Amino acid sequence: MELYEKTIHELHELIEKKEITGVELNKSVYERIAQVEEKIKAYVLTMDWEQVLQKAQAVDDMFARGGKIHPLGGIPMALKDNICTKGVRTTCSSKILENFVPPYDATVSQKLSESHTILVGKTNMDEFAMGSSTENSAFSITRNPWNLECVPGGSSGGAAASVAADEAVFALGSDTGGSIRQPAAFCGVVGLKPTYGLVSRYGLIAYASSLDQIGPITKDVTDCALVLSAIAGHDPKDSTSVNKPVPDYRNFLTGEIKGMKIGIPREYFGEGLDGGVREKVLAAIGDLEKLGAEVEEVSMPHTEYALPAYYLIASAEASSNLARYDGVRYGYRSKDASDIVTMFKKSRSEGFGSEVKRRIMLGTYALSTGYYDAYYLKALKVRTLVKGDFDRAFEKYDLLAAPTSPSVAFRTGEKRDDPLAMYMMDVCTIPINLAGIPAISLPCGFSEGLPVGLQLMGKAFGEGPLLKAAYAYEQSAGFHLAKPTLNGEV
């Protein structure tokens, strides 16, 4: 087994035992990128090898001097390109930020630096995290490592593909309506959307502030727990981050879930759910039962209203968050504008892609005088109802289980011209963001040769029990061990 194929915890053990060095590990991943990136196109940019080598050497030196090495120390990783990195281009896969170099680090970037991880590249995404296929990137189309003819999901498609194709040991993505979990499901890796407020959003280029959350994309649940422990915690720079002590999430990975109560929300198995996906998810739920969990069906009656509410709230916030890209201070500025209004209009018309423009217009409309009550305000009320469904369910159950996505990865181009069909891809993930609770997607088998994702949802700040159940399932099912072939016609 090559080094680049291994997990964080396996690699950490090898480093600690001095069987490998950080330099060797990073070299392995770097060669892997050189080998497969042409096919996958997971990255917007990769870091200069000399720089990576230097950092890896520094970690090795520190360890040689007798320093204690952090569980993530020396591990090569990738960041979704909407997470600010000081001195490194951060583009949101948008023409409007193509040459934007942040003068500051996102809090998560800083935390990972302090853990001595090594950034190898910034991953491709749907422009400004708007999309479910990573086809909305201004730069390239990322391929699914399980079948290059298919999309990797989105919007963190580059991050999920980089981990699945072993171009990074782990990655951070962001999840506003499913953007970590759905690509994790499509690419057969583990993706966690933490509770809103658990991980600082400072330095995450905002799409929809009340929904965005950064989370790990990893090769297994243990790695997920390790990364989450490193990035979670209160940040005085983010007023919405919660001041709670962060546990070591590894302590929850016991494999023991006897007596755990798991609810199965009926509405997530309704019309539009792919037969293959249904079968694998139900089988996974059966496995959880065999492991000792008590499983019961539950109704979440407001689920069907979550999708429209989400597209109103997220678009409304986006219309305001993206107003700053006007060509005045940074980013793309149209060359042929003679006055300020034309400059605004042309810079934005030329700089943004069509999906971004669609959501800005939708959000602007929803907030306009005369429409606010009917759209935005109503959507907020629906949000409260959706949250109420979860509150009630969690009075009775420790976790909920459902599919992550109604289908497996679809073919590139298949839904590109049908925004509504694309929006439907988020139907199982969106309610979680509206409620602010944590959810994880993990591989639970294959349908049509493509990975299927099992989604587990937990109580707010209940990442511990969530990871506990995910780990127990993963260890018994073993789907995380499968590796993609990187085959298919492009």
Contact footprint for another protein (CB under 8 A): 82-84, 90, 92, 97, 100, 102-104, 106, 201-206, 208-210, 236-240, 316-317, 319-320, 323-326, 328-330, 339-340, 344, 364, 367-369, 372, 376
Q: Quick one: 344 or 479, whose CB is closer to another protein? A: 344
In the bound complex, what is the minimum distance in angstroms from residue 168's beta carbon to another protein? 21
Q: Least distance to another protein from the beta carbon of 150, Å?
A: 31
CB nearer to another protein: give 254 or 349: 349
**Shortest separation between residue 123's beta carbon and another protein, angstroms:** 16
Task: Provide the minimum distance between the beta carbon of 209 and another protein in the complex, in angstroms, as a whole number.
Answer: 4
> Residues 430, 210: contact at Cβ < 8 Å?
no
Q: Which is nearer to another protein, 209 or 475 (CB)?
A: 209
- Those residues with Cβ within 8 angstroms of residue 136's Cβ, 6 or more apart along the chain or in another chain: 93, 126, 127, 130, 154, 155, 353, 355, 356
Residues 97, 329 contacting (CB under 8 angstroms): no
Which residue, among 337, 360, 334, has the nearest Cα to 347 in the 3D structure?
Answer: 334
Q: Torsion over CA of 429, 277, 415 and 268, rounded to 10 degrees? A: -40
Q: Rounded to 10 degrees, what is the CA torsion of 359, 42, 46, 353?
A: -20
For residues 65 and 338, which CB has a smaller minimum distance to another protein in the complex?
A: 338
**Comparison of 65 and 335: residue with beta carbon closer to another protein:** 335
Shortest approach of another protein to residue 326 CB, angstroms? 6
* Alpha carbon distances (Å) from 96 to 121, 127, 334, 350: 20, 10, 10, 8
How far apart (Å, rounded) are the C-alpha atoms in residues 136 and 425? 15
Instruction: Provide CB contacts within 8 A for 56, sequence distance 6+.
Output: 21, 22, 23, 25, 26, 27, 74, 76, 118
Nearest Cα neighbor of 249 from 433, 430, 440 is 440
Of the pair 81, 426, the CB lying nearest another protein is at 81
What phi and psi, each to the nearest 5 degrees, are found at residue 288?
A: -60, -40
Residue 346 beta carbon to another protein: minimum distance, rounded to whole angstroms: 13
Strand partners, 204: 83
Task: Locate 349 and state its tokens.
Answer: 């018309």
Gyration radius of the chain over CA positions: 21
Q: How far is CA 33 from CA 37, 47, 161, 401, in A?
A: 5, 11, 12, 35
Annotated catalytic residues are 80, 155, 179
Sheet with strand 118-123: strands edge to edge: 43-46, 118-123, 76-80, 170-174, 214-218, 190-193, 439-447, 450-458, 399-403, 261-265, 294-298
**Comparison of 267 and 317: residue with beta carbon closer to another protein:** 317
**Cβ closest to another protein, residue 104 vs residue 446:** 104
Closest distance between another protein and the C-beta of residue 91, in Å?
Answer: 10
For 55, counting Cβ atoms within 10 Å of its Cβ (0-12 exposed, 13-18 middle, 19+ buried), the class is: buried
* Cα distance between residue 26 and residue 348, in whole Å: 39
Nearest distance in Å: CB 135, another protein: 22
Q: Which sign does the torsion angle of CA 418, 192, 118, 9 carry?
A: negative
